Structure 1
Amino acid sequence: MKKMKIFITTLLLVVVTGLNAADLKVSGELEQGKLKNGMKYYIYKNKKPEDKAYLSLIVNAGSLQEDEDQLGMAHFIEHMAFNGTKSYPGNMLVKHLQSIGMNFGADLNAFTGFDRTIYKLQVPTDRTEEFEKSFEVLKEWANDITFFSKDTIDERGVILEEWRLRQGLSQRISDAQKKAVYGKSRYTERFPIGDPDIIKNATPELLKRYYHKWYHPKNMAVVAVGDFDKNHVKALLEKYFDYDSNYEFKESPKYRIGKSNGEITVFTDPEITSITFDILTKESLEPIQDRESYKRAIIDEIYAGLLQSRFDSISKKADPTIGKGYSYPVDLGKYDSVQVTGAMLREKEIESGISEVIRQMKKLSVYGPTSWEIDGEKSELLMFMENAYKNRESREHSDIASEIEADYLEGYIFTDIENEAEVFREIIKEISYKDILEKAKEVYENSNKAFFLTAPQKKNLHIPTKDEIKKIIENTKNKKLLEVGKNSKKPVLRVKNFSEGEITDKIQETDFLRYKLSNNMEVIIKETDFDKDKILIKLFSKGGSSLMDEKAYIASKLALPVILSSGIGNLSPVETDIYMKGKNIQFHPYISDYTEGIDMETDRENLVTALKILNIFLTQPKVDKDIYENFIVLQKQYINNRKNSPKTLYRDKIKEIVSSNHPRRKPLTLEDLNKISEKDLIEAFRDRFSGIGDFQAVIVGSTRDMDMENLMQKYLAGIPSKDISESPKNLDVKFPKEVTRENVKKGTDKKVSVNLIYPYKGKYTYENRVKYLGVAKILDMILLEEIREKIGGIYTIYADTELSPLNFGENYLTISYSTDPKKADMVTQEIKKVLKNALEGNFEDRILKSVVENYAFNYDSILKKNEFWIDYISKREGFGDNFRIFSPEKYKKTLNRENMIKFMNYAVDSENYIEVRLIPEKSE
């Protein structure tokens, strides 16, 4: 069990009976214990994904436990775990796990934090030998890492590249935040990535000193969650983990973050593109262990939600003092947490924005919330919990394991669903106005605070000094509040009777039902029981902005976020936010180059409301004047500042070169914004969404016994439609025909970022699409081994491919990475050699075998996800019959060595590419 909205994923809303208040109890389904050597274990049987398990080894130590000469060694050991153990020398461990279909990153991973190191595996349980070997792997990490000198020296370069990858603006902000967040404490001195000078000189002896001290059975736990026999798992744990340690163990001291007393930090940087102001209120972390701590956690969540909602309301008014506000709690280690309250500020409203953030905290602490505000936040939590409970059988192993990990590391109780639900139901009724008021006062009056302002460095922008901010804070605190009346009315969505239509045709197909409606819209429904209470809807059509002129295209880039924020029907933007509280409806419209559509997610209870909103959105689009003007102000602020960002300029240059400077690949300018009005946004929306007759809708999920035919006739078939059938227009985006190299010189990063882009030179078929995606997977593995592991030139490197008939030739192989400026030429040449060797077939069979095995490993699980089916059906409808599912057998046959070598040479021209580098103007 973790913090609210993270740990509450198993709650049933039931009527509570009995006179005595219920309390939280440890789940009877969780088997836990301690081996003779002191190692703890947790075993939990779960259904999904079937025939798989999630295993983790938790080390109750991280960078905080490092000695002064060990900075970075906890993280270094995590790397060494993949570079050789007693039974798996060198990289044989990774090769073994890849051979059974596990992907580095997705199924095989590790993490080092301040106070923990966690190794994670997702493994098959239907292959007995391989399942058992997974426990052997965990045990090897726990006790048998080899730390050979050559492996240690080789890994230094990889870790230094990981350190380098983190450098830049985000690291500079992080460094500035250290003092504000962690104060004078060991945290400030022990960031997990470590000290590069110590990393450069790391030795096996240095690593072993940490390893033998902290990787002690009494300081570790193993978590096993999955589709398995619990007795079998327990036997495996006893077989591999009940070993004797030769080293003495002493518990680590309890490290706390440093206190603050209103310190103010002002951080400016030439690469920053927006202004933010944060108030960091520090509190003791209280793990949820019983009824009282549970209640306090729920109160905390309601408080944060109330403040967030108030910020949202302010940002939607005329001439708002803030752009976007936020309020949320963050756990810092095992003993501390911080309540983050802040907002993005407008450049001309920095002082008033700072004051507004403080004023809202004060206002809530003085007057408290309205009853409808409390009801709204309660309904949000109730919706979240009820939805999670109904879909409890769909919970995946990793989600459950993370809660068990919190039990071991922080002391959160792990409960049964029924027990937790009973306690929650009682508590949610008890929470009152007084509870929230007391929480608001506690946060506002807490002096353990730090204030943090970030802003761009630019001419003609006045950034308040620390003293000026201090005066703003004091003046706001001392200024008398004007009490406002408490509105208790909840907004009501008033709708006229919807124009109904008819179903004109109904066809039963292999995987779904297909309907034709009287307005020519097609609706495809696939009923599933993968999730008991989840329904996905995708509405889509071909055409997109390719059919629009320049002015309409510009308007289309802005129309959807503005219209989506402008309210529903008779409701204002703020009223819409209140109305949507507690409704499980996610709504994401889009207009791309060649398609337009709407993606939705809801549940059975909210399906009718979701369809009503969809109908109103399509038939009654509106632009709220204040929303429009606020949006344009922030857009202009962003456009003026975007040139500050090296990464933004780098992406712009890549688009420019790849498209031969095509006008549709250029960023919006101030001149573009001046060409359009509110009216243009509505016209752009109607241009793409009024011709509903050539749209298709796919509905996937728990629709059993919901009379879907009646709902379609009432809310979809009656939407007015133009009698049109559109096809997208080829934008004729041309890739350069010769090798093109360009550099973007910007920033002070200690790294060079590189993109190598090769155009796809073949035709589209679905088989070619499968092969092209396979090319990326093959290259990912080869590049990690040849560039990361052998020469230590990079930390991460990605090969990415895309092939679609709707891309009109904009299909590419992209290889992306960052490296040391001194190594950039060498690393880039080596990568080009790897690609050339791959085209010549110079790669091991095990690489291809791993790609094929990974497909088979995930195949059955993917087919039992609603997300897969809605994507598959919509693509099949969009691409035609040339889009289908390959079975593992078909996939293996398609991705054989002969086919792939032939295809790679057919698809990739290694002599026609673009190379774009982002290089620093100067060193930091």
Structure 2
Amino acid sequence: MKTSFYRLIRFAFCSFLAFSISANAQVTTSPENQKTGTIPSDNLPITPDVKIGKLPNGLTYYIQNNGKPEDKVELRLAIKAGSILETEDQVGLAHFMEHMNFNGTKNFKKNELVDYLQGIGVEFGADLNAYTSFDETVYILPIPSDDPEKLDKGFQILNDWAGNALLTEKDIDEERGVVIEEYRTRLGAATRMQKNYLDKIAYKSRYAERLPIGTKENLETFDYESVRNFQKDWYRPNLMAVIAVGDLDVETLEKKIIENFSDLKNPENPKPRQEYGSENHEGTLVAIEWDEEATSSQVQIYYKDKGQPQKTLTVKDYRDNVVEGLFDQMINNRLAEFSNKPNPPFIFGFSYKGQIIGNKEAYQSFAQTNETGQMAALKTLLEENERVKRYGFKASEFERAKKDYLVRLERAYKNRDKLESNRIVGRYVQHFLKENPVPGEEWSYNFAQKELPNIKLSEVNALIKDFLHDDNRLVVLTGPKKDGLKKVTEEEVIALLDEVKTSDIKDYEDEAVRSEMMSEKPEKGSIVDTKVNNAGQLNETTTLTLSNGARITYKKTDFKNDEVLFDAFSYGGSSLYSDEDFLQVVYANGGLAEASLDGLSKNDMTKMMSGKIARVRPSIGAFSENLRGSASPKDLETMFQMIHLYFTKLDKDDEAFASYVSKQKAFLSNIASNPNISFSIEVGKFLNEGNPRFSGLPSPEDLDKANYALAYEKYKERFANAGDFNFYFVGNVDEAKIKDLAETYIASLPDNGKRETYNVPTFRPKYGANELVVRKGTEPKSQVRLSWSGETQYDVDEARAFNALAEALSIKLIEKLREEEGGVYGAGARGSISKIPYGSYNFSISFPCAPENVDKLIDASIAEVQKLIDNGPTDEDLDKVKKAKLLSRKDQLEQNRFWLNVIRSADYNKSDINNVLKYEENINALTKKDLQNVAQKYLTKGYLRAVLLPEE
């Protein structure tokens, strides 16, 4: 189970959504929440796709019929109870209670629940999961819908989670170790620093004392009644919702909910569900934290709102959120421009308005920078906010933001009937927990089409005056502590805040860029052959051979209405470089695609692409040169133009490369301070001892010496011959259009007549019995990696069995190391046999644990491996592996990305694409003996025992 630290406290590590139009939104009407003086408007609608109801006991339910994927229902149990409700003796027990629901309930004794679900193909962790945060707990269960018995069991499981955990003393004590190991995984620099500034984010708030993971001391010693009391107080139907979205009719799902949850009862004297918030404070608080193991330097600014979050109740409130989203888009477009400068003040930066904790929202600005650049990054963020405050945004910026906003809503609208259930169900979870609006894609798109033209730039520009203020403000700086590095002081931060308010800041200049990717189309080539492959079958494709020798293979699908995915490769890559040339360019290759394209810089490209959805990125790998991209069908020509230009007109852009090097230095300079990353680096060095082409983690000096001029020349060589490339397109392809575009933009590319392959390296990594101990870090935590590797003759049947062997072992490792020993939070095995560049195999076991348990858990792991060598897996475990694979494949068959990988891999590996049709047959044919055979062949030749231990 995953514990969710409050997402916005750790927003530096979250995906930033520029158009967060529904953050902290509500749909319930309440006059006291209306803005004073606003004109009333219609309440927001709720999408007609969902049925919302409430049982007499107060439990809310949401149901939507959705046929993608087929024969599956996504179930969620959402509870408005998290760590914020814990008493002093219950610290960490909201999350512990989540664990206990997987370890003994009325209908599933300890371990029976996971065992049953694995038996029907539901994977623990990947599918079956849960999370606990400050304010909520959510249980996640995908279940087959085409089997009435499995469906009934799914609802029975949800019912058990809602209030039927047994919470026996034995089960509680056995789970303590697992939760403590989860606690251990979170130890490190980020947690240590956060602990010191969380009370400033959550100013005078209970949130600062209720991190969901709890404390080690309380997890080890809490009384049994403490967790039982938490369950009794907060696991009650009037704080719960059941959400069911999937391939089953609404009436059947509603009947199941009524049958399974109507009998739940609320306590006779229920505790009030108190809301907690954070107080306002005068002036500016500053937190400056550094740590020897910090991997990066970051700057955060919070302008905290003084009042309650404004709820989104009406269409007008929703419109206000759209205005706010346009502001976010424009400020972040400006900040992105800074990150592309030759000497950027930060690796990346962004700003947005959103919730930070409890009842607090804030306008927030963030940047990640180099270890000496915190003040420069802070100054840039402050100046950009001040620039907008003084001058506002430009009309040209505004028009681009509206185009981008609308095109994203248009894509969602076009794909509205092709959304997977697991992407829909979360909306209703958040509607219940936070009352976020759910008007649906059609309403949102129609509203935007109608209302965007009426939104004035002055409305957007006015927002910043409310966002920025000198009080109730917080600045947080975090970074590495090391010799020779001066720590920023609070006085310096305050002085800079004051300085920027009166500094000379010029208005933003929005330079115009050309409106089209290519002003003139190239002279067309032609299609010389068209071949339909596997006609009428699931894997049907069409291959076009072009006049320059290039091959295009496409597959038309209806999985998404507004998606076309693209890939291309040609054999060779950097394997064709000499060792000397390779070492000169290895650290430069990543910066090649940062250059301008036919004179369009990355910043110019962003502007020119407003309102369009298309992307392409080239790369040079070890054994092939590649392109990858995607587009909306309406922007397919733009994608083809980009493909053409990456072959013919990628610029040599020294400024863009300088920016890339600067950001790489900032990102990589302290990354090895993290013990786990350092461990991986040392394992790589150990295995590659003597490798003349081993590069490893570059130092700043390595990056300075990277030969960009040579890398650029090598790029032009590798992309000089389009006739040696295979191109692949999968999605909503217009066949006539793709043929025309292929003739125009790909058949017109140069061909020198050569057909290359890759060079097979002569070096082989270490294999067999080896031992490596790495000492790094101050926390009492270790990492274990056991790996078997070597050369072999590739065999597709062995590769299939080897992969299944790893999955069978993963089941046993969880049972043994987690459930029996209580020594790990997670453990797993991976196994693969590769064909390129030569036949090789790799099998590994990895897990984190306490240092004192390393030897014991390694011995237990090797004992499980030996059982597979001696006897193969159990019938039950092999059956679980087969069912999980088949259930996963059923979903994959309706995904464009899956088919793109299948088609490309068949050519790249020179394998039979018809194997995809035999997948079910081949998986069902796997036997215990097959797995035992590969275990005996590959896991008896000695292994690498690599262990990370804390410093002595």
TM-score by length of 2: 0.91
Alignment of 1:890-901 (within 5 A): 890-901=921-932
- Check whether the contact 1:771–1:900 (CA below 8 A) recurs between aligned residues: yes
Paired letter, 1:815: I
Q: Counterparts of 1:436 and 1:231 in 2: how far apart (Å)? A: 45
Q: Look up the equivalent residue of 2:289 and give its one-letter code.
A: F
Instruction: Tell me which amino acid in the other structure corresponds to 2:165.
Output: I
Which one-letter code corresponds to 1:130 in the other structure? K
Tell me the distance in 1 between the aligned counterparts of 2:554 and 2:482.
54
2:859 alignment counterpart: 829
Q: 2:450 aligns with which of 423, 426, 440?
A: 426
Alignment CA distance shift 1:86-1:594 (3 Å): same
> What is the correspondence of 1:223-622 to structure 2 with a 5 Å cutoff?
223-245=243-265, 247-248=267-268, 249-260=270-281, 261-283=283-305, 284-332=308-356, 335-347=359-371, 349-445=373-469, 447-483=471-507, 492-510=516-534, 511-554=540-583, 556-622=585-651
- Matches of 2:649 and 2:236 in 1, distance apart? 65
Q: Name the amino acid aligned to 1:895.
A: L
Cα offset for 1:762?
Answer: 3.9
Cα distance between partner residues in 2 of 1:72 and 1:633: 42
Mapped partners of 1:244, 1:291: distance in 2: 36
| 3-state SS in 1 of match to 2:899 | helix
Q: How many angstroms apart in 2 are the aligned matches of 1:591 and 1:525?
A: 23
Output the amino acid matched with 2:574.
S
Preserved contact between residue 767 and residue 788 of structure 2 (Cα < 8 Å)? no
Distance 1:688 1:172, change over 3 A: farther
Structure 2 distance, partners of 1:235, 1:848, is 35
Deviation at 1:420, TM superposition (A): 2.8
Letter of the 2:931 counterpart: M
- The alpha carbon displacement at 1:636 in A equals 4.1
Could you tell me which runs of 5 or more consecutive residues in structure 2 were left unpaired when the two chains were aligned: 1-15, 24-39, 535-539
- Shift of residue 426, structure 1, vs aligned partner: 2.9
**Using the alignment, how far apart are the partners of 1:334 and 1:586 within structure 2?**
38
Cα deviation digits, residues 487-515 of structure 1 (max 9, x gap): 56665545333132111211111111111
Shift in CA distance, 749/666, structure 1 to aligned 2, threshold 3 Å = farther
Of residues 99-108 and 681-690 in structure 1, the stretch that sits farther from structure 2 once superposed is: 681-690
More displaced stretch, 756-765 vs 143-152: 756-765
The code of the aligned residue for 2:524 comes to E
Matches within 5 A, 1:36-185: 36-185=56-205
**Kept after mapping to 2: 8 A contact 1:372/1:489:** no
SS class of match (1:520):
coil
Distance 1:317 1:91, change over 3 A: closer
Matched letter for residue 226 of structure 1: G
CA distance in 2, matches of 1:448, 1:58: 33
| Higher mean C-alpha displacement, 769-778 vs 420-429 | 420-429
In the superposition, relative to structure 1, how do residues 176 and 607 fare at CA in structure 2: closer, same or farther (>3 Å)? farther
Q: Is the 8 A contact 2:596 2:656 kept in 1?
A: no
Moved more, 294-303 or 413-422: 413-422
SS at match of 1:445: coil
Match of 2:687 in 1: 658
- Separation (CA, whole Å) in 2 of partners of 1:551 and 1:357: 42
Structure 1 residues 93-121: Cα deviation after superposition (integer angstroms, max 9, x where no partner):
11111111101122211111101111111
Q: Does 1:707 align with 2:727?
A: no
> Aligned AA for 2:616?
F
- Partner Cα separation in structure 1 for residue 361 and residue 658 of structure 2: 37
Of 226-235 and 265-274, deviating more is 265-274
- Aligned to 2:286, the other structure's residue is in SS state strand
Residues of 1 paired with 2:146 and 2:164: CA distance?
27
Q: Give, in angstroms, the shift of residue 522 of structure 1.
A: 0.8
TM-superposed CA distance for 1:468, in Å, is: 1.0
State the AA in 2 paired with 1:685: Y
Indicate if the aligned counterparts of 1:646 and 1:747 stay in contact, CA closer than 8 A: yes
Q: Which position in structure 1 is the counterpart of 2:889?
A: 859
Task: Sort the Cα spacing of 1:638 and 1:425 in 2 relative to 1 into closer, same or farther, 3 A.
Answer: closer
Question: Does the 8 Å contact 2:41/2:316 carry over to 1?
Answer: no
Q: Residue type matched to 1:272 in 2?
A: A
Q: Rate the CA distance shift 1:552–1:251 in 2: closer, same or farther, 3 A.
A: farther
Q: Say which is worse superposed, 758-767 or 225-234, in terms of deviation.
A: 758-767
Partner Cα separation in structure 1 for residue 368 and residue 920 of structure 2: 52
Equivalent pair of 2:43/2:313 in contact (CA under 8 Å): no
Contact 1:855 1:888 in 2 (8 A): no
Structure 1 residue 795 and structure 2 residue 817: aligned?
no
Displacement after TM superposition at 1:842 (Å): 5.9
How far has the Cα of 1:375 moved from its partner? 1.4
Give the whole-Å Cα distance in 1 for the aligned partners of 2:87 and 2:231.
12
Q: Cα gap change, 1:639/1:93 in structure 2, threshold over 3 Å: closer, same or farther? A: closer
Write the distance in 1 (CA, Å) between the matches of 2:692 and 2:195. 39
Q: Aligned pair in 2 of structure 1 residues 289, 835: CA closer, same or farther (>3 Å)?
A: farther
Aligned residues: 910
**What amino acid does structure 2 have at the position aligned with 1:277?**
V
Superposed displacement of residue 394, structure 1: 1.5
- Post-superposition offset of 1:446: 6.4
| Corresponding residue number in structure 1 for 2:934 | 903
Q: Is the contact between residue 799 and residue 816 of structure 1 (CA under 8 Å) also seen in structure 2? A: yes
Decide whether the 8 Å contact of 1:371 with 1:488 is kept in 2. no
User: Are residues 267 and 221 of structure 1, via their aligned partners in 2, closer, same or farther at CA, if it must alter by over 3 Å?
Assistant: same
- Note the alpha carbon deviations across 1:137-178, whole angstroms, 9 max, x for none: 100111211011111111000000000011112322332341
Matched, 1:623 2:648: no
Residues 490 and 578 of structure 1 are in contact (CA less than 8 Å); yes or no, is this contact kept in structure 2? no
Note the alpha carbon deviations across 1:344-364, whole angstroms, 9 max, x for none.
334554433321210001101
**1:4–1:298 CA contact under 8 A, matched in 2:** no
Note the alpha carbon deviations across 1:494-552, whole angstroms, 9 max, x for none: 53331321112111111111111122111101111111111011011222211112353
User: Greater shift after overlay, 869-878 or 91-100?
Assistant: 91-100
1:27 maps onto 2:47 in alignment: yes
> In 2, are the aligned partners of 1:848 and 1:897 still within 8 Å (CA)?
yes
Give deviations 1:860-897, integer Å, cap 9, x for gaps.
22111111100000000111234521546413433221
User: What is the CA distance between 1:754 and its match in structure 2?
Assistant: 1.3
Q: Take 1:841 and 1:766, find their aligned partners in 2: how far apart are those partners?
A: 23
Distance of 1:723 and 1:603 partners within structure 2: 33
CA distance in 2, matches of 1:518, 1:200: 71
Q: Is the contact made by 1:149 and 1:203 (CA closer than 8 Å) also made in structure 2?
A: no
Q: Output aligned runs, 1:676-695, within 5 Å.
A: 676-695=706-725
- Distance in 2 (CA, whole Å) between partners of 1:547 and 1:328 is 46
Aligned identity (percent) is 26
Q: For 1:192-203, list aligned pairs within 5 A.
A: 192-203=212-223
CA distance in 2, matches of 1:583, 1:114: 39
Q: Distance in 1 between the 2:17 and 2:725 partners?
A: 42
Cα offset, 1:182, TM superposition: 2.0
Unpaired runs of at least 5, structure 1: 10-19
Q: Do the aligned partners of 2:406 and 2:448 also contact (CA within 8 Å) in 1?
A: no
How many Å apart are 1:45 and its aligned residue?
1.0
Matched position secondary structure for 1:123: strand
- In structure 2, do the counterparts of structure 1 residues 122 and 238 end up closer, same or farther at CA, with 3 Å as the change threshold? same
Tell me which amino acid in the other structure corresponds to 2:477: L
User: What is the rounded CA distance, in whole Å, between the counterparts of 2:238 and 2:352 in structure 1?
Assistant: 35
Note if contact 1:777-1:851 (Cα within 8 Å) is conserved in structure 2: yes
Question: Which residue pairs with 1:12 in the alignment?
Answer: none
Decide whether aligned partners of structure 1 residues 179 and 681 sit closer, same or farther in structure 2, where only a CA change above 3 A counts: farther
2: CA distance, partners of 1:286 / 1:136 = 39
Query: Given the alignment of the two structures, is residue 914 of structure 1 paired with residue 944 of structure 2, yes or no?
Result: yes
Aligned-residue Cα RMSD (Å) equals 2.4
Task: Report the counterpart of residue 838 of structure 2 in structure 1.
Answer: 808
2:275 aligned counterpart, secondary structure: coil
Q: Distance in 2 between matches of 1:612 and 1:420?
A: 32
Contact kept? 2:517, 2:638, Cα under 8 Å: no
AA at the equivalent of 1:900:
L
C-alpha displacement at 1:297, in angstroms? 2.1
